[in-house]
Amino acid sequence: MAPRVLVSDKLSETAVQIFRDHGIEVDFEPGLGKDKERLAEVIDQYDGLAIRSATKVTEKLLGKAEKLKVVGRAGIGVDNVDIPAASKRGVIVMNTPFGNSITTAEHAIAMIMAVARQIPEANASTHAGKWEKSRFMGTEVTGKTLGVIGAGNIGSIVCDRAHGLKMKVLAYDPFLSEERAQKMGVEKVELDQLLGRADFITLHVPLTDKTRNILDKDAIAKTKTGVRIINCARGGLVDEAALAEAIQSGHVAGAGFDVFEVEPATDSPLFNLPGVVVTPHLGAATTEAQENVAIQVAEQMSDYLLHGAVSNAINMPSITAEEAPILTPWVKLAEHLGSFVGQMTDEPIKAINILYNGGVAEMNTAALNAAAVAGLMQPTNPDLNMVSAPLVAKERGINISTTTQEKSGVFDAYVKLTVVTDSRERSIAGTVFSDGKPRFIQIKGITIDAEIGQHMLYTTNEDVPGIIGTLGRTLGEGGVNIANFTLGRSDRGRDAIALLYLDEQPPAPVLDALKDTGLFRQVRPLEFDVA
């Protein structure tokens, strides 16, 4: 059955057609997002939900979205989506951070020019029949210093455009390397340095606990007298009341704001102040940007629903369409490794370490980590997936660490999962053969070569004669057929294991019969999702 997507906000016909061209059923109902009751009634019919800003994806709505796998936001902001609730339900949330980058950067530059030359006020005055030439004395931007807070995708475009205006550019961004700063032609500085030197300041960071009110009263007090502040990023980055006070005192010469702490903004301390230019969140409001983000979200959602490719996800490691075919068998292996240990572990888990050896160490290990954790936790919580399991593991205080190393041993690549509880460590390793099939290659440090099937039986014992015969005879008498049989031991007469691939799950009387022989330390039936 083809995946089904609901488009509940305005999206271009081109984007809607992309879903159809991919063979996805799509219901285009712009405006439905504003009808909360009706949206809640129909949401359980859909695998995907494509939105802009009008639809509110709340915990309550997600609770009714039983089939929903992905929410796609045409645009960068996801304030209208309850990310934690979506993650707990295993719903991927995607945005389109690059479709409106140029448009937003251009709006910031436009704001700089508008504030520098008081264009909106001069325009209104001239329309009113006045000719107040001396009132609107402006300032040149050439040779001035622009301080860019956040030198990521949009911020870097602003830096590039500022160079075209012959401005000096300072950049504050904890993630900006010196090498990258040099390539961008900017001076990397700390925030206080930027505040004290910049003639214009523009913000291009997301709204987080760390960035909220990054320009508060104290920070604004550190700025140069006559500074002009631009915010086309997110409302809440600047303390609007503190900025208004600084403008009224003359410390700040002007401001350009496209975003506000409360939107729609019908009132703000910045409204009607001289030298302040305000716009109604127009950063992404160009025909090109709206078309770009709509097309991008349709492509991303289609790639995920049809091929498992994850792009620009907020709550899930990305898996590109190009790497998905190569990564998929390794994702399945990681799930199997986690599932093995999860089915064997009956006590709280304290820590998880995942070792990537050889070629797999160069793959998307973040996605593989998520798969391993999902496999580990699904035996006790089947509803978890790669999105929700890492979140639940974090909530439970489980420490997850990753190690990568160059090829060692006979395999070109392998993954080893070690799980720590209060009483023991369990480890299992596996690889993917050239046929694309995952295999277990080591359990408890004992080398094996085991094909993975839906129904399996794991036993441990002392290495003594008769084990193979006992297993074969007991299962045979119980009517259980063995598809494959793998043995391994640490040394002669020491610890030994057996891993059997069965045609069906052994019934309880057969398991009891094996335990009653007294030959086995453990007899554990296992189930794996090999679909």
Topology of the domain covering 454-524: Alpha-Beta Plaits (3.30.70)
Whether the predicted pLDDT of 319 surpasses 90: no
Angle at 159 between CA 156 and CA 162, to 5 degrees: 155
Cis check: omega of the bond before 507, within 30 degrees of 0? no
CATH of the domain spanning 4-98+288-307:
3.40.50.720
Share of residues in the chain with pLDDT > 90 (%): 75
Which of 73, 228, 234, 439 is flagged as catalytic?
A: 234
Whether the predicted pLDDT of 312 surpasses 90: no
CB 333 within 8 A of CB 367: no
Whether the predicted pLDDT of 401 surpasses 90: yes
Task: pLDDT band for 368, please (50, 70, 90 cuts).
Answer: very high
In angstroms, rounded to a whole number, what is the distance separating the alpha carbons of residues 88 and 388?
5
Question: Which residues, at least 6 apart from 169, have a Cβ–Cβ distance to it below 8 Å?
Answer: 145, 146, 148, 159, 162, 163, 184, 185, 186, 187
Asked whether this chain's domains 101-278 and 454-524 adopt the same fold, the reply is: no
In this prediction, residue 261 carries a pLDDT of 94
DSSP element (H, E) containing 393: helix 388-395
- Where are the domains positioned within the chain? 4-98+288-307, 101-278, 320-443, 454-524
* Coil, strand or helix at 188: strand
Mean pLDDT, residues 97-105 taken together:
87
In this prediction, residue 114 carries a pLDDT of 97
For 103, list phi and psi in degrees, rounded to 5: -60, -45
In tens, the pLDDT along 28-54 reads 999 998 999 999 999 999 999 999 989
For 61, list phi and psi in degrees, rounded to 5: -65, -45
In this prediction, residue 407 carries a pLDDT of 87
In this prediction, residue 346 carries a pLDDT of 84
In this prediction, residue 76 carries a pLDDT of 80
Whether the predicted pLDDT of 315 surpasses 90: no
Neighbours of 511 (CB within 10 A): 20
In angstroms, rounded to a whole number, what is the distance separating the alpha carbons of residues 362 and 367?
12
CB 160 within 8 A of CB 184: yes
| Averaged pLDDT of the chain | 92
Question: Which residues, at least 6 apart from 526, have a Cβ–Cβ distance to it below 8 Å?
Answer: 339, 340, 343, 455, 456, 457, 458
In this prediction, residue 159 carries a pLDDT of 97
In angstroms, rounded to a whole number, what is the distance separating the alpha carbons of residues 3 and 82?
23
In this prediction, residue 410 carries a pLDDT of 85
Per the annotation, the verdict on 288 as an active-site residue is: no
DSSP element (H, E) containing 525: strand 520-527
* CATH number among 3.20.20.70, 3.40.50.720, 3.30.1330.60, 3.40.190.10, domain 101-278: 3.40.50.720
CB 181 within 8 A of CB 187: yes
In angstroms, rounded to a whole number, what is the distance separating the alpha carbons of residues 71 and 59?
13
For 342, list phi and psi in degrees, rounded to 5: -60, -40
C-alpha of 526 from chain center: 31
In this prediction, residue 284 carries a pLDDT of 85
**Looking at this protein, which amino acid is placed at residue 366?**
A
In this prediction, residue 124 carries a pLDDT of 94
CB 47 within 8 A of CB 23: no
Question: Which residues, at least 6 apart from 359, have a Cβ–Cβ distance to it below 8 Å?
Answer: 407, 412, 413
Task: pLDDT band for 310, please (50, 70, 90 cuts).
Answer: confident
Can you name the residues that pair with 355 across neighbouring β-strands? 403, 416
- Report H helices in 165-190: 178-184
Token code pair at residue 408:
């060692």
Question: Which residues, at least 6 apart from 124, have a Cβ–Cβ distance to it below 8 Å?
Answer: none
Q: Does domain 320-443 have CATH number 3.30.1330.90?
A: yes
Token code pair at residue 71:
């929410």
Mean pLDDT, residues 416-422 taken together:
93
Whether the predicted pLDDT of 131 surpasses 80: yes
In this prediction, residue 153 carries a pLDDT of 85
Whether the predicted pLDDT of 322 surpasses 80: no
For 27, list phi and psi in degrees, rounded to 5: -110, 115
In tens, the pLDDT along 500-526 reads 999 999 999 999 999 999 999 999 999
In this prediction, residue 272 carries a pLDDT of 94
The lowest-confidence range among 223-237, 281-295, 314-328 is: 314-328
In this prediction, residue 389 carries a pLDDT of 85
Whether the predicted pLDDT of 160 surpasses 80: yes
In this prediction, residue 311 carries a pLDDT of 85
Task: pLDDT band for 98, please (50, 70, 90 cuts).
Answer: confident
In angstroms, rounded to a whole number, what is the distance separating the alpha carbons of residues 285 and 107?
9
In this prediction, residue 176 carries a pLDDT of 87
In this prediction, residue 390 carries a pLDDT of 86
Neighbours of 16 (CB within 10 A): 19
Per the annotation, the verdict on 180 as an active-site residue is: no
Side-chain-side CA neighbours of 59 within 13 Å: the count stands at 3
With tokens 């271009």, the residue in question is: 12
In this prediction, residue 228 carries a pLDDT of 98
Which of 41, 59, 190, 263 is flagged as catalytic?
A: 263
In angstroms, rounded to a whole number, what is the distance separating the alpha carbons of residues 520 and 467?
9
In this prediction, residue 520 carries a pLDDT of 94
Token code pair at residue 103:
């448009």
Question: Which residues, at least 6 apart from 405, have a Cβ–Cβ distance to it below 8 Å?
Answer: 355, 356, 357, 361
In angstroms, rounded to a whole number, what is the distance separating the alpha carbons of residues 261 and 79?
12
In tens, the pLDDT along 162-214 reads 999 999 999 999 888 898 999 999 999 999 999 999 999 999 998 888 899 99
Per the annotation, the verdict on 307 as an active-site residue is: no
In tens, the pLDDT along 431-490 reads 999 888 999 999 988 999 999 999 999 999 998 999 999 999 999 999 999 999 999 988
In tens, the pLDDT along 74-91 reads 988 788 999 989 988 889
CB 486 within 8 A of CB 450: yes
Mean pLDDT, residues 133-153 taken together:
94
Whether the predicted pLDDT of 125 surpasses 80: yes
Which of 52, 161, 281, 336 is flagged as catalytic?
A: 281
Neighbours of 425 (CB within 10 A): 12
In this prediction, residue 313 carries a pLDDT of 87
In angstroms, rounded to a whole number, what is the distance separating the alpha carbons of residues 199 and 126?
28
